Chains A and B, each alone.
Chain A
Amino acid sequence: MVKRTVVGAGYGLRDWLMQRVTAVVMALYSLLFVFLLLTRPPEGYAEWRGLFAPEWMKLASLLFALSLMLHAWVGVRDILMDYVRPAGLRLALQSAAILALVAYAAWAVQILWSL
Chain B
Amino acid sequence: MKFSIYRYNPDTDAKPRMQDYQLDIEAGDMMLLDALLLLKEQDESLSFRRSCREGVCGSDAMNINGFNGLACITPLSSLKQPIALRPLPGLPVVRDLIVDMEQFYRQYRSIKPFLINDEPAPEIERLQSPEDRAELDGLYECILCACCSTSCPSFWWNPDKFVGPAGLLQAYRFIADSRDKATRERLDDLEDPYRLFRCHGIMNCVAACPKELNPTEAIGRIKDLLVRRTV
Contact = CB atoms under 8 A, between A and B. Distances in A.
Contacts of A78: 200
B171 to A, nearest CB: 14
A9 B188 CA distance: 10
Contacts, number: 47
Interface in B189-212: 189, 191-198, 200
Interface residues of B, number: 21
Main secondary structure of the interface of A (DSSP, over half): helix
13 contacts: A9-B194, A10-B188, A11-B192, A11-B193, A12-B191, A12-B192, A13-B197, A13-B223, A16-B223, A17-B230, A78-B200, A81-B198, A82-B198
B158 interface: yes
Interface of B: 153-154, 157-158, 160-161, 188-189, 191-198, 200, 223, 226-227, 230
B105 to A, nearest CB: 15
Main secondary structure of the interface of B (DSSP, over half): loop
Q: In the complex, which range does the number of interface residues on chain A fall in?
A: 10 to 19
A8 B188 CA distance: 9
Given A12-B196, A16-B223, A82 B158 contact: yes
Interface of A: 5, 7-17, 78, 81-83
Contacts of A83: 157
B90 to A, nearest CB: 14
Contact of B154 (A10, A11, A82): A82
